[in-house]
Amino acid sequence: MSEWLQIDEEGEIDVEEIMRKIKAHIAQHRLMEEGGQVITPYFEGRFPQALYDELLEATQEKDRTHVALQVTRSPLPVVGWIVDTLRRKVHELVVFYINQGAARQIAFNDHIVRAFSALIEELEHSEGTRAEIEALQKQVEALQARVDTLETR
Amino acid sequence: MRRIAFVIPWYGPDILGGAEAEARRTAERLCQAGLPVEVLTTCVRDLRADWGLNYHRPGVVEINGVMVRRFPVRKRDRAAFDAVNWKLMHNQPVTPAEEQIFVHENVCSPALVDYIGKHQDEYIFIFIPYMFGTTYWGIAACKGKALLIPCLHDESYARMGVFRQMFTWVQRLIFLSPAEMELACSLYPWVDEVAVLIGGGVDTDFTADGEAFRHTYGVTAPFILYAGRKDHGKNVDLLVDYFRRYQAHRSNAVELVLIGGGALPVEVNHHAGIKDLGFVPLQEKYNAYAAATILCQPSLKESFSLVLMEAWIAGTPALVHAGCAVTREHCQRSNGGLYFADYSEFEACLDLLLSHPALRAALGANGRRYVMENYRWDIIVERYCRLLNGMRFR
């Protein structure tokens, strides 16, 4: 049911945070069903929350480009059904070609979302490396200071 | 002080509808507060009646302590109106000539418009809602002096040139929710100077007996409540569809109970787990709120949503459609409910709410606090008094 979501029922309820968790869960679930890559983490990562939210939206929207047939009825008496039939045929033809383009767009969107996810994941993991570089820089500065002191003696 | 007149296409104690109920309840409350309030309306019975037919007698009657002046309507070309309205309902473009047909063949009472024009220095006119002939022609008769409660939705009518123009003729615009005011400011950028956020009033002192409702209607399982008109415009068919899919995916015993006017398709009515109780008396509606596990408001076109507020007063959490800026905003501001944009979110929200009673209780309590702090009648009446006392006319 909803074991995936831990709610602190004693604490303050934040509806927007609950909705973010629900959306993230759905996106992860979808990606896993598709055998795709799971984008993590969604929360409390090193980047602003807006970045994760946008990525989540992109994950959910990436394949929503198909165009459905939408033909409204003609109000014309007697010949209305002929107009409707013609309209439907023309719309079907247009939608056929649009959906071919949309399928390519979906594939492209998928690559982009996966590339961004991989990039963010890589950057998340490189947090340790950055800390090491900063520590080494501090060591170099300290050693430089000691060398300067020795040289002035 | 000038007399205050609510101008509305139809008026009566038993007329349903958000704007109609808002006008009636506000007029009565302001009257009880000692303000000189009247209602100016037509002789048409209600929204569903023939707008060219005088059902009530013209003249003055008193309804629940409020003086109501009824004026006769004129004949109209219903077919011409319906043809334009059909296009608008299906989001098709209409020409300026068709817009003129829309306002000319709308519900209209020349006698009412004449009365407004002649007495414009004696009244403060408050028109409600925006899209009817009584409002368009009435405001045109007292340009620069009218107040309008538009009850605005994001819909094709709101983008018509005639109504854009009408919004330039008002002195003040009264909004029922921040999201509605935001929508108006995005559609008509000049209105932020005349916009006033007042909100809708909610009866907060009712008592509700959930057990009595369950006993009367034989409902034993946890249930999702839908309260309101059962028609396509309220998105109730989406709720029924999602509920049936949820039942197919999940084994938990949850029911969908619907109260209010309108009818569901016969095959839905006989579906296990869906109970359509039809129109129920007021006290039983309150009892239904208290008995419900969750109130669901799937409508996309709300400018306030009274049922959401009443359910919160009964301590029941809400589930609303994310596509409705007004109800979603209420949930976000109150932390009193969740929202869904598609079936997956509907399913996840239901899973979460049904399996966490403490979360439901906390959401319900938050919602109740939100209503008590913002929409109690004494607060709303005070806001109206401040606005009306501050009005200046040339």
For the whole model, what pTM was predicted?
Answer: 0.78
Kindly report the nearest CA distance between residue A21 and chain B, in angstroms.
10
Kindly report the nearest CA distance between residue B105 and chain A, in angstroms.
18
Q: Is B356–A9 a contact, with Cβ atoms under 8 angstroms apart?
A: yes
- CATH code for position B231: 3.40.50.2000
Kindly report the nearest CA distance between residue B335 and chain A, in angstroms.
5
Q: Is B126 exposed, middle or buried (0-12, 13-18, 19+ CB in 10 A)?
A: buried
Chain B residues within an 8 Å CB radius of A5? 352
Residue B340 · residue B346 · CB < 8 Å: yes
Across the strands, what pairs with B230?
B262
* Residue among B49, B41, B51, B116 at smallest CA distance from B71: B41
Q: Is B337–A15 a contact, with Cβ atoms under 8 angstroms apart?
A: yes
Mean pLDDT, chain A, rounded, equals 78
- For chains A and B, CB pairs below 8 A equal 51
Residues in contact with B151: Cβ distance below 8 Å, sequence separation at least 6, in sequence order: B18, B19, B22, B128, B129, B130, B176, B180, B303, B304
Please give the average per-residue pLDDT across A108-137, as a whole number: 80
Q: Which two tokens stand for residue B331?
A: 């949930």
CB atoms within 10 A of CB B262: 17
B230/B354 same-domain check = yes
Percent of chain B with pLDDT over 70: 98
Cis before A41? omega within 30: yes
B108: in domain:
yes
CA B272 to each of CA B195, B219, B345: distance values in angstroms, whole numbers, following the listed order: 48, 13, 23
CB-nearest partner of A9 from B92, B344, B358: B358
B217 phi, psi to nearest 5 deg: -105, 5
Q: Which two tokens stand for residue B382?
A: 């005070």
pLDDT at A132: 81
Residue B78 · residue B52 · CB < 8 Å: yes
B186/B215 same-domain check = no
B56/B163 same-domain check = yes
B194/B229 same-domain check = no
Q: Is A22–B352 a contact, with Cβ atoms under 8 angstroms apart?
A: yes
B180/B114 same-domain check = yes
B322: in domain:
yes
B30/B176 same-domain check = yes
Structural domain span for residue B149: 3-201+376-389
Give the H/E segment covering residue B227: strand B223-227
- Measure the CA–CA gap between B154 and B156, rounded to whole angstroms: 7
Chain A residues within an 8 Å CB radius of B337? 15
Residue B139 · residue B127 · CB < 8 Å: yes
Angle between helices B325-334 and B306-313 (to 10 degrees): 20
CA A30 to each of CA A56, A63, B24, B342, B389: distance values in angstroms, whole numbers, following the listed order: 12, 12, 49, 14, 57
Q: Lowest-confidence range among B51-55, B172-176, B266-270? A: B266-270
Enter the DSSP assignment of B205: -
Which residue does chain B place closest to A11, by CA atoms?
B362
Q: Is A9–B362 a contact, with Cβ atoms under 8 angstroms apart?
A: yes
Q: Is the pLDDT of residue B392 over 80?
A: no
Percent of chain B with pLDDT over 90: 80
* Residue among B319, B318, B322 at smallest CA distance from B300: B322
- Measure the CA–CA gap between A152 and A146, rounded to whole angstroms: 10
B221/B126 same-domain check = no
Q: Is the pLDDT of residue A71 over 70?
A: no
Across the strands, what pairs with B61?
B68
B23: in domain:
yes
B193: in domain:
yes
Q: Which two tokens stand for residue B110?
A: 């020349």
CB-nearest partner of B338 from A15, A26, A30: A15
Three-state SS string over chain A comes to: CCCCCCCCCCCCCCHHHHHHHHHHHHHHHHHHHCCCCCCCCCCCCCCCHHHHHHHHHHHHHCCCCCCCCCCCCCCCCCCHHHHHHHHHHHHHHHHHHHHHHHHHHHHHHHHHHHHHHHHHHHHHHCHHHHHHHHHHHHHHHHHHHHHHHHHHC
> What are B213-249's pLDDT values in tens digits?
999 999 999 999 999 988 878 899 999 999 999 998 8
B351/B232 same-domain check = yes
B138/B234 same-domain check = no
Report ipTM for this prediction: 0.83
Number of domains in chain B: 2
CB-nearest partner of B345 from A14, A16, A22: A22
B166/B249 same-domain check = no
> What are B280-315's pLDDT values in tens digits?
999 999 999 999 999 999 999 888 999 999 999 999
Three-state SS string over B110-139 comes to: HHHHHHHHHCCCCEEEEECCCCCHHHHHHH
Kindly report the nearest CA distance between residue B234 and chain A, in angstroms.
21
pLDDT at B374: 95
pLDDT at A41: 42
pLDDT at B286: 96
Kindly report the nearest CA distance between residue B91 and chain A, in angstroms.
10
Please give the average per-residue pLDDT across B317-345, as a whole number: 95
Q: How confident is the model at residue A70 (pLDDT cuts 50, 70, 90)?
A: low
B306/B319 same-domain check = yes
B394: in domain:
no
- Measure the CA–CA gap between B224 and B253, rounded to whole angstroms: 11
- Measure the CA–CA gap between B381 and B201, rounded to whole angstroms: 8
pLDDT at A43: 46
Mean pLDDT, chain B, rounded, equals 92
- Measure the CA–CA gap between B16 and B31, rounded to whole angstroms: 21
Please give the average per-residue pLDDT across B109-130, as a whole number: 94
B240: in domain:
yes
B367/B382 same-domain check = no
Q: Lowest-confidence range among A70-79, A80-89, B100-109, B361-370? A: A70-79
